[in-house]
Every structure is written in C-alpha cells, then in structure tokens.
Amino acid sequence: MHLTAEQGDITTVHVDAIVNAANSSLLGGGGVDGAIHAAAGPRLLAACRELRRTTVPDGLAVGDAVATPGFDLPAAWVIHTVGPNRHRGETDPDLLVSCFTRSLDVAADLRARSVAFPAVSAGVYGWDPDDVARTAVAAVRSWDDANPAAVDEVRFVLFDAAVHDAFERAL
C-alpha cells in the first residue's frame, strides 16, 4: 500500500473514497464534516437521513463506519466514521484505531482502491494531532498487513500545517 500525507482540502481530492470525521447523528456538523456536506450537495444529507432511517436508527457508534455516494464530490464514495470525543472522556486509542480499520473494511467492500483520510478526532473532538497521526499510521499499516493488496493507496489529507507535520513525523 502507498501511504502519504499532504496538506490540503479533502473535498477536492480525486480518490475512490474520502472519509468523513462525522458525529453519531450523521446529520452534519462543522469542520471537515461541514465542508464535505457543502461540497457533496444536499443529496448527501438525504442519503445520511436514509441511513438513519434504515441501517443505523440509533446513530453510528464511535469507531464504526458506513458509506454513502459522494454525489457532487470528485470521490465516488464518502465513508462516514465517528471519532472518539476527548471532551466526553473517550480516550481509548482502540476507538480511534477502529475508525481507520472499519473505514478501510468498508472501502474494501466497495472495491475502492484509493482512500483519503482526514485527521479524525484532531479538531472539535480534542485529540492531540501527534497521537492521532501515530495511531492512524499504525492502524492503516496493520490493516494492510492483514488485508494485503485490498486497498492500493491511502492519502492523509490534512487541512492545517501543524497537523500535516504530525503525520509526516508519524510516517
């Protein structure tokens, strides 16, 4: 697997699937979630509402992942995951590992060959960017070891220079 970090806006990236740092409601928010909903257009919110009506009526659990189409995005798919929120005492790194590995499970099920991740939980949810970066890199590498050649490329797309630096250090 080809693993890279770059500074940029994940809504503009040409990959098969981008990952959204959503919340359990799946009904939108700020940060990268707000940017993805704005760029994908209103059909994304409608698809998320349909998921809430059918697959995840009680909301998406922390560490789990589900997919919708990407609609107006360059990416074919959006994989929505919910990171642990430090401000609610969600400090178990396994929850964050699960965000990355469950997202890659969903990507593989969709036959997505290239996936872009933001720094899940490194914004509003209050995790230290270095902890997120180390956890993300280790999680993706161990998933790749367990699922050889299932996904060809993972790009970490980081909005902030400081978060990008953290991912470069982790890689």
Residue 70 makes contact with ligand AR6 by CB under 6 A: no
104: nearest Cα among 134, 74, 146, 45 = 146
Report helix, strand or coil for 104: helix
By C-beta, is 42 or 146 nearer to ligand AR6?
A: 42
Catalytic choice (16, 33, 64, 105): 33
By C-beta, is 159 or 168 nearer to ligand AR6?
A: 159
By C-beta, is 23 or 98 nearer to ligand AR6?
A: 23
Residue 31 makes contact with ligand AR6 by CB under 6 A: yes
Q: Give the C-alpha separation, 110 to 117, whole Å.
A: 16
Residue 124 makes contact with ligand AR6 by CB under 6 A: yes
Question: Interface with ligand AR6 by CB under 6 A: which range of 32-40, 65-73, 88-96, 105-113?
Answer: 32-40
- The CA-CA-CA angle for residues 93, 126, 36, to 5°, reads 95
**Is 33 an annotated catalytic residue?**
yes
Residues of 132-147 as b/e, b for ≥16 C-beta within 10 angstroms? bbbbbbebbeebbeee
Residue 15 makes contact with ligand AR6 by CB under 6 A: no
Residues with catalytic annotation?
33
